[in-house]
Structure 1
Amino acid sequence: MRYRRGLSTVVGAVFFIIATTTVVTYITYSMNSIDNFSQSVIVSESQNIDRGRESITISQVGIVNNKFNMTVTNTGSLPVKLTRLWVTNQDGVTSDQKADLNIQLNPGQQQYNIGQSTAITAESTASYNLKVVTERGNISTFQVSPNTSTRIQLITPGTVAPNTDFKIISLITNNSTTPNNIANLTPTMLSNVTLTLVDGPNPANIDALPQGSTAAFTWTYTAPVTSGGISMNASYTGAPTGKFVLSNFTNQLSAEAAAATQSQWSQAASRVGILISGIPNPIHSLTNSLEYAKWGIGIINPLDRDVEVYAAGVLFTNPNILNTVVGVEPGSGIGLWSKRALGAGANMAVWEGGSTPVIIPAKSVGQFRFETDFSSNTLYESIVTMQALTSEGKLTVQYVISSDSAANYPLINAFYSTNAASPTTSWTYNLNNIPGNTNDKLFNMTVQNAGADFPSKIKVLILVPSDFTDVQDYTAGSGGWGVASIFTNPDGSRIIKVETTASTFLGGTSKTYQFTADTPSVTSDKLYVFQTTTIYPSFTGTGQSELASALSEAGVEIVP
């Protein structure tokens, strides 16, 4: 019995230990489970809080080389990791595309060119929905579509002159109410007539037009030679059907512009005409003085066809002026220059081509040059008439010259030269083959006194057409010239005003003034004129007048 009572005690102790161990183990397990659950809840709550504090924005999307080019900004307060890019083609052409990303962004940081290194392809004419996913599960969405709400405006001139350049501006605004880029925006421009494109569009395209933004595109065209209405149609590649704007204007030469082209060459030449390439004035008319005046007749041909010149000359209505004619151009072989007496005592310096006319090629300038000396006379004013018989008709222009045989009378020539060091042997009225789109092109204008000492300064006015830009005074107060003043006219042309510094212009001397300009960019040959006028402030008194002026209208050929 005693033994059994001892065994019962042992068995009871064992059961007690087992029970105690079980309870302790359960309690420990329960406590651990509760703790793990609590930690899990805390972590999950922290992640939710972090997810709420995380923020990313796709600020811009473009399409470059048929791939997306995105800019993503971390606009939140926590670092983020971009893990995936999803692309949905909303036109249904291809299935969804995805690409894995591994991009870390600190708060405020931007990442450019996202998508360029992926295998996802894109077309600028399609519509896409893009989603960027972060490691915490946040998503930023963006639309890329040409088929969005836009506004197109077209700015055109009211009237343009035939064969002149004009500009067209297209304004395209992204009016989308949601974040939506127009990627690779490429403008288009159509016309109901054939226009010569000089330049544009500028820019050719833009990578992306964000919501609320406006892009401006500029074209430069040359108007047709024939007058008529012009209609322009502006849109862009991939635009929705019917998304375009029209603008109409007129191509015609106004009466004022027609008159201006005869006396003022502020724009490019638009029709065949005669140039007063060179008229000396005043003239020291003293027989056998070997003081030669330089004359020039220019024929400007802006057409796309050749012009034939059969005869050219200068008519002197009074026989007491002209003495000897020395032909310069054309030289021997194609007609000859000569002095010819006409009825009523008039004389003419004339060139005749006979059966071999001079051919002036399309879009070029031809010049006819000769020199003369004069008979002794005391005539103060005389009308001279320049004439040319061409395949486009007879061209005529008149001018008035002053002459005298007095000992103090000058003989002033105005011309251009190809060599500033020896202007009187390289004189010309035809500046041909000048490269277009050239910066700081140098031009030489020369005033020569082949007569007696001239007790006056000489002021020169040079009209530079509006297509020439950045006109500069190259001589700048040297070589006997003062500092030039350069004025801009309302039409964009410029006037150079410059004066000699000495109070007397010595006989037998010349002074060359130089200026520079950026030449216009052209796609084919284009013609201009530098109209050059002289003024003599002290040429007054008996037999003298400030109305006397040597004139040069030099043709300028700009080539691509």
Structure 2
Amino acid sequence: MIRKTSLFHLQNRRGLSSVVGALFFTVLMIAGFSVLSLALDAQTDIVTTQRIVSDTEIKKQQEQFAVFASVDQNNVLSMNVKNQGQNPVEISSMWIVNKTLPTQPVTRFDINYDDAFIPSGFTNDIISSQTLHMVPDIYDIKIISSHGTIDIDELVVGLGASIGDLRAELITDPPDVVLGKNVTVAMIVTNTGNAEIKNVHPIMQSVTGSGFLISPSPSHTPSSVNLEPAESVMFSWDYQVDGVSGNDLVFSAMAQGDFKDVDDVSSNVASDTILLREAGEGGSGGEVVISNELFGKPQIFMLMPNAVGDENSDVSDRPIWGVNVANPTDQPMFVNKVVVMAFVPRANSQDDVFVKNCEDIPGANPERPVTIPPTPDNWSCPESNQLMWRDLVSPVEVAPRSVFPFLVGIGSGNMAGTTDDAQNILVQPVVFTTLGQYGKAGYGTTMHTNEVALPNVFLARTPESVASSNVMSELTGIVEGTTVKFNATLADMSSDNIYGIKNGTSLIINIPKEWSFGSVVSNNGFNLSPPVTYPDGSTQIVGTLISSIDDHSEAKTIQFTATAPSVPKTKMYVMSILANGVATGNSASGEFAVGPIAETVLQVCPTSGCP
């Protein structure tokens, strides 16, 4: 009996354990499913939120509207909003900023529901059910949509405000005009009303000021237009002006149009003033120095070959690379490092544009690159495809409004491949100065799988010379009004007589504007096209090679003269010398395009002297 009872209790305990285990497992399952359900709900909420945000952003990006504020004769405000998008726009609020008062107070206005919605392509006065009287002042009115898009319009109430429903603004381009040159006068007219205004046309007022007009009053374009509400038009005139440097001219104009009767709607009278100046007194163009405020940093210009070749590493195979560092400020600038970097667009590139470690053939005399005066001899190649000049102890001084050249002749390196030419290699110079570190992009060269001709262009001290000591990338100390003789040279800097620059290749010289082209003194080896003077005043000379340059000691020069402009203070100009044509080489392509460049900096000083 005792043994049977014990067995019975044991079986009960086992059954109880199974029940407890099942309950515990059930609780765990319920908890797990609850957590999973919460996670799924949270994920659903996140996705829903992201979708709502995305939809809102898309609607905001698609939302386009323009706002135009105006007042009537009683200074009651009208706020027209034109929906220029594809979807309806809901305007939520309007903010008015009084710009005249010192504190510039801001007032918020809610938009009534009936006025808030604007269908696509329609224009509504969003405060038509409200009456807002404006005190004569200047205001910024900001309109905010329900999606957060903001548009702002300036409103002038009182003096200078629009008359009727036309508003006019007048601008002149340029605001400072060279004596005897043209100025463009443009007037923008906007229909700020709620109805179409027909036959909108401008009326130019009498031009006042101390200067005068050379040409008679020109016709304006367009002649007239019809303006829907919120639409604008630009009328323009071109005048030739003259006078004395420092004179001014005031242009004024207004617009009229037809609403019910002829010319019964008029705009305000809009005005703008120009100043007259001599050609040498500032302005824009090819000169480096426009103003110290705009160019308070070094300006960078390059001299470089195009192309180079694999194993062009003989002692005499040294194409010229150079960086001109111009100082446009009125204070000395110091340069302690110049780096020329080449970027070969190949995956895992093993190509070396510059000869390894800046050395030529090991054991050759000399092994170092050829430093070209006045550059100090501090060139090295710290990494693959990096050519560096550095002197941290004695940096080079660049005088105010002057330039210093960093020139070197260095052999080209090796290409990893044996059949594929690199048709474009990006080149970027970087300079480290007391004005900061700056770089310049936009340069390029090519590299070929075997030896090729090495085309360079430069100004030479002696015509038809390939000696590196004759290479110049700048010319300083030119006195204003001086006639200068230039030797623009095209040369093959390789050491062999097998490959060369083919006949038909062009040498292109761009004389900067404000310089006066004189004449071509000699063009031995070139057929010369007539020089072309462009509308900006620059002149281009193009000579075409009559026969190929095959001898490594051969160069061809176009010698010409040009007269420096008059300058009130020292200025720098860039004379670009380029070449375009075909050269030969033992490369995959056999023949290849050439495109060397020399951005030559010319410093012109007044008769009182250079800084």
| Structure number having the greater strand percentage | 1
1:315 to 341, 356, 370: 341
CA contact (8 A) 1:338 1:350 kept: yes
Q: SS state of the match for residue 579, structure 2?
A: strand
What per-residue deviation string (whole Å, max 9, x for no partner) do you get for residues 356-376 of structure 1? 322211111111111111224
- Partners of 2:593 and 2:456 in 1: CA distance: 15
Over 3 Å counting, the alpha-carbon distance change for 1:414 and 1:459 in structure 2 is: same
Q: SS state of the match for residue 296, structure 1?
A: strand
Matching of residues 254-265 of structure 1 within 5 Å: none
What per-residue deviation string (whole Å, max 9, x for no partner) do you get for residues 442-492 of structure 1? 1111111022522512211111111111342222xx421112331122211
> In structure 1, what is the equivalent of residue 605 of structure 2?
559
Q: SS state of the match for residue 466, structure 1?
A: coil
> In structure 2, what is the equivalent of residue 158 of structure 1?
173
Identity of aligned residues (%): 18
The answer on 1:397 being equivalent to 2:412 is no
1:545 shift after superposition:
7.7
- Partners of 1:374 and 1:331 in 2: CA distance: 23
> In structure 2, what is the equivalent of residue 305 of structure 1?
331
* 2:341 alignment partner AA: L
1:321 shift after superposition:
2.6
Over 3 Å counting, the alpha-carbon distance change for 1:513 and 1:412 in structure 2 is: same
- Partners of 1:294 and 1:448 in 2: CA distance: 10
- Partners of 2:600 and 2:371 in 1: CA distance: 17
Matching of residues 77-476 of structure 1 within 5 Å: 158-159=173-174, 166-167=178-179, 217-219=243-245, 232=248, 247-248=273-274, 266-267=286-287, 269-270=289-290, 271=295, 272-286=297-311, 288-290=313-315, 291-317=317-343, 319-323=351-355, 324=359, 326=369, 328=371, 336-341=378-383, 346-377=384-415, 378=418, 379-381=421-423, 382-398=425-441, 399-407=443-451, 409-420=452-463, 422=465, 424=467, 425-439=469-483, 441-451=484-494, 452-454=498-500, 456-457=502-503, 458-475=505-522
Over 3 Å counting, the alpha-carbon distance change for 1:157 and 1:426 in structure 2 is: farther
Over 3 Å counting, the alpha-carbon distance change for 1:400 and 1:544 in structure 2 is: farther
> In structure 2, what is the equivalent of residue 481 of structure 1?
526
- Partners of 1:400 and 1:246 in 2: CA distance: 45
- Partners of 2:179 and 2:312 in 1: CA distance: 56
Q: SS state of the match for residue 496, structure 1?
A: strand
> In structure 1, what is the equivalent of residue 5 of structure 2?
none
Over 3 Å counting, the alpha-carbon distance change for 1:273 and 1:532 in structure 2 is: farther
Over 3 Å counting, the alpha-carbon distance change for 1:504 and 1:310 in structure 2 is: closer
1:316 shift after superposition:
3.0
What per-residue deviation string (whole Å, max 9, x for no partner) do you get for residues 373-403 of structure 1? 1224354232222111123332222422112
Matching of residues 452-531 of structure 1 within 5 Å: 452-454=498-500, 456-457=502-503, 458-475=505-522, 478-531=523-576
- Partners of 1:354 and 1:329 in 2: CA distance: 20
- Partners of 1:500 and 1:547 in 2: CA distance: 15
What per-residue deviation string (whole Å, max 9, x for no partner) do you get for residues 485-544 of structure 1? 311222111111111111454333111211111211123221001011110157799537
Q: Which protein is bigger by CA-based radius of gyration?
A: 1
Superposition TM-score, scaled by structure 1 size: 0.51
* 2:286 alignment partner AA: S
Pairwise CA RMSD: 3.7
CA contact (8 A) 2:249 2:275 kept: no
* 2:598 alignment partner AA: S
- Partners of 1:348 and 1:539 in 2: CA distance: 27
Q: How many residues align?
A: 321
1:278 shift after superposition:
0.9
Over 3 Å counting, the alpha-carbon distance change for 1:331 and 1:516 in structure 2 is: closer
Superposition TM-score, scaled by structure 2 size: 0.47
* 1:434 alignment partner AA: I
CA contact (8 A) 2:511 2:540 kept: yes
Over 3 Å counting, the alpha-carbon distance change for 1:387 and 1:216 in structure 2 is: closer
- Partners of 1:433 and 1:392 in 2: CA distance: 23
Q: SS state of the match for residue 322, structure 1?
A: coil
What per-residue deviation string (whole Å, max 9, x for no partner) do you get for residues 238-268 of structure 1? xxxxxxx9943699xxxxxx9xx9xxx7345
* 1:364 alignment partner AA: S
- Partners of 2:331 and 2:554 in 1: CA distance: 41
1:435 shift after superposition:
2.1
Q: SS state of the match for residue 306, structure 2?
A: coil
- Partners of 1:504 and 1:280 in 2: CA distance: 15
Q: SS state of the match for residue 553, structure 1?
A: strand
* 1:552 alignment partner AA: A
- Partners of 1:356 and 1:493 in 2: CA distance: 39
CA contact (8 A) 1:534 1:549 kept: yes
What are structure 2's unaligned runs of at least 5 residues?
Answer: 1-170, 182-208, 212-240, 251-270, 278-282, 344-349, 360-367, 607-611
> In structure 2, what is the equivalent of residue 140 of structure 1?
none
CA contact (8 A) 2:492 2:501 kept: no
1:294 shift after superposition:
0.6
- Partners of 1:275 and 1:420 in 2: CA distance: 26
Q: SS state of the match for residue 527, structure 2?
A: coil
Over 3 Å counting, the alpha-carbon distance change for 1:374 and 1:558 in structure 2 is: same
Over 3 Å counting, the alpha-carbon distance change for 1:546 and 1:529 in structure 2 is: farther
CA contact (8 A) 2:248 2:276 kept: no
Over 3 Å counting, the alpha-carbon distance change for 1:470 and 1:362 in structure 2 is: same
Over 3 Å counting, the alpha-carbon distance change for 1:509 and 1:423 in structure 2 is: closer
- Partners of 1:516 and 1:287 in 2: CA distance: 35
- Partners of 2:323 and 2:249 in 1: CA distance: 44
What per-residue deviation string (whole Å, max 9, x for no partner) do you get for residues 264-312 of structure 1? x734543345443310111133254221111110112232222221210
What per-residue deviation string (whole Å, max 9, x for no partner) do you get for residues 328-372 of structure 1? 25778x67111112xxxx331111121332221111111111111
